[in-house]
């Protein structure tokens, strides 16, 4: 069953743009395979290999292999309500086991999530530590505690 990847909550296009090096114009998901097209007209797909990494294919060439942990972050589509879960998942990934482009993607997403949690007023419930600041959300109330 093919479905369009949802825009507002999907990091897939951002990740693919970084890994492929071209703007991604369209992405669809078919079972466990992502199919995409770039603005330059290239078509490709992302599928899991035997060792658990996600290979990006363009034509007959694998141009990048995405680690499983990074793919789960890039495929996150839970929206604002699961920002705390996404941030928890990001924090447990060992950066030193990642390839350079994967590290860059992880850093971009981590910084964006931290910025949202620290500087926005979101209708969330949960808490986390970001650096030396504890952020607590209780529906419409956000509390920031400096842990120095």
Calculate mean pLDDT across residues 101-113: 95
DSSP state letter for 95: G
CA-closest candidate to residue 67, choices 33, 94, 30: 94
DSSP 81: G
Most confident of 27-31, 112-116, 118-122: 112-116
Query: d(Cα 148, Cα 146) in Å, to the nearest integer?
Result: 6
Q: Is the pLDDT of residue 9 over 50?
A: no
pTM of the model: 0.86
> Dihedral (C-alpha) 36, 42, 43, 49: value to the nearest 10 degrees?
-90
Q: What is residue 48's predicted lDDT score, i.e. its pLDDT? A: 95
**Per-residue pLDDT reduced to its tens digit, 72-103:** 999 887 665 588 999 999 999 999 999 999 99
> Could you give phi then psi for residue 12, rounded to 5 degrees?
-60, -50
With 80 as the cut, is the pLDDT of residue 50 above it?
Answer: yes
Whole-angstrom distance, CA of residue 120 vs CA of residue 67: 30
* CA pair distance 1, 35, nearest whole angstrom: 12
Beta strand 2-4 with 33-38 is unpaired
């Amino acid at each position: 069953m093919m479905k369009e990847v949802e825009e507002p909550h999907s990091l897939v296009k951002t990740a693919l743009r970084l890994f492929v090096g071209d703007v991604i114009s369209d992405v669809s998901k078919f079972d466990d395979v992502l199919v995409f097209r770039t603005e330059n007209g290239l078509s490709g797909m992302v599928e899991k290999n035997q060792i658990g990494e996600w290979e990006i294919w363009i034509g007959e060439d694998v141009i990048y292999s995405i680690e499983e942990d990074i793919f789960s972050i890039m495929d996150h589509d839970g929206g604002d309500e699961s920002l705390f879960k996404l941030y928890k998942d990001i924090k447990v990934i060992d950066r030193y086991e990642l390839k350079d482009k994967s590290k860059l993607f992880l850093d971009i997403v981590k910084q964006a999530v931290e910025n949202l949690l620290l500087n926005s007023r979101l209708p969330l419930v949960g808490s986390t530590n970001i650096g030396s600041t504890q952020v607590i959300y209780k529906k419409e109330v956000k509390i920031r505690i400096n842990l120095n």
